[in-house]
Amino acid sequence: MRGSEEDSDPEEALDDWFIESLKTYKDLHVYQLEHPTRVLEWTSGKTVCVAGYSASSKNEILELSLPLRLLAEQNKGLCAQRDFKVVHGGFSDAPVHSLKHIPGTRCAVSSDGVNSSLQIWDLGGDDSDVIRRSSCIEAKCESSDGADTGGRGGSREGRGRRLAAPLAPASEPRVLHGATTDDIQLTDIGTGRELYRLACAESEPLSCLQFLGDGAFACGSVNGSVLVADSRSSAAPVRHAAPAAAAAAARSSEHGEWSAAFHRSAVVRSSVSGQTVVSDLRRMDRCAAQALVEVDGGKHRGSLNVSWAPALEHYIALSGSSGLVQIFDTSLWGAELGPAHAQFEHRGHTVSSPEDDAIVTSHAWHSERPRTLLSAASDASVHVWDWNSQSERRE
């Protein structure tokens, strides 16, 4: 918590926030997991997967349905179900650091954050409420000097593998995955066959990996650079350098790491130091907009997450440096670097954490509901919330 809340009683601060939330949120629902999750993966417009990432015990993988009250367009007060509901569940022997649902299937792919193996999961159906691991793919990875690293390709950077699912169902389900820019592969899920491998001279740890179309994809590195390629072509990827001053920041500051997200032809890159840059993938030689955002006083304590709102033009969400999820309207930013304040802040994880030090581990926008987001924190809480547009800060 910040400001005067730091000196107040935690229960009193929580009560004050809930009273405030009656005006600032259209909907707000809180759920408590047994263990924290880094995964918030939509499996439909009404269901989401979560999974534990503990290295010391078995981890639950759950598919939760959203509260019916949230989904009701009218007469919300008549909805008896006001909580999340477990519809499918299972266990993983390994931690789940990332997970992607494959469109058009009841299948998901996960990575444990340590090695290059991928776990394939059957999410169950109407005839079964059990999530089972159906197979495992051992991705063949090569280091930048050409040496075969076997099943440990992801561990050389200590980050595990980033995953990307196609935007639409395919006749042969597949997944794009990689730990570094020279280690990106497209794999057939059913056979484990490698369909494509990116030929890239640079080896930079990935911060994100995302499909842009049928075969086109983009990735961002933790150094701030962006690569754009197409799995249907043997052409070399197009590499775009990090935003201006990013290289200098990486050399001079411990807060030089970047995260990125793509939406249509736009890319947003955000550094844990607060510099956030919006660019057009068709004109990467210039900055479309940028700002220096508030990131909890510059105290980076988690893994930075940035994402575009799929149904709200120009909006992004930032989390990972604190217990907050911050919403920004990038249309208010200029071409010159200047300070920007969040249009809205979700503080629920901060005020509800018993230890008062919860860090947001993940957030996800709803694909169709413009202001609805899910967020999860290190205290094992999961929130789904729809903020009231009237509560936005106007700059």
**CATH pick for 38-202 out of 3.40.50.12160, 3.30.70.270, 2.130.10.10, 3.40.50.720:** 2.130.10.10
The proportion of the chain whose per-residue pLDDT surpasses 70, expressed as a percent, equals 84
Q: Is residue 156 pLDDT above 60, yes or no?
A: no
Per-residue pLDDT band for 116 (boundaries 50, 70, 90) equals confident
Task: Report d(CA 139, CA 136) in Å as an integer.
Answer: 9
Instruction: Flag whether pLDDT at 54 surpasses 90.
Output: yes
CATH 2.130.10.10 placement within the chain = 38-202
The reported pLDDT for the residue numbered 273 is: 85
CB 382 within 8 A of CB 31: yes
| Distance between CA atoms of residues 372 and 365, nearest Å | 6
Confidence category of residue 144, pLDDT binned at 50, 70, 90: very low
The 10s digit of each residue's pLDDT in 249-302 is 444 444 468 999 999 999 999 998 899 999 999 999 889 999 999 866 445 556
Residue 95 has which token pair?
């931690």
Q: Tell me which of 1-5, 43-47, 89-93 is least confident.
A: 1-5
Average pLDDT over residues 126-137: 95
> 176 has which bridge partners?
164, 186
Torsion angle, CA of 74/376/173/214, rounded to 10 degrees? 80
Q: What distance separates the 2 farthest-apart alpha carbons in the chain?
A: 63
User: What pTM was computed for the model?
Assistant: 0.89
Three-state DSSP class for 343?
A: coil
- What does the pLDDT average to over 18-24? 87
Check whether 248 has a pLDDT greater than 60.
no
- Read off the DSSP letter of residue 236: P
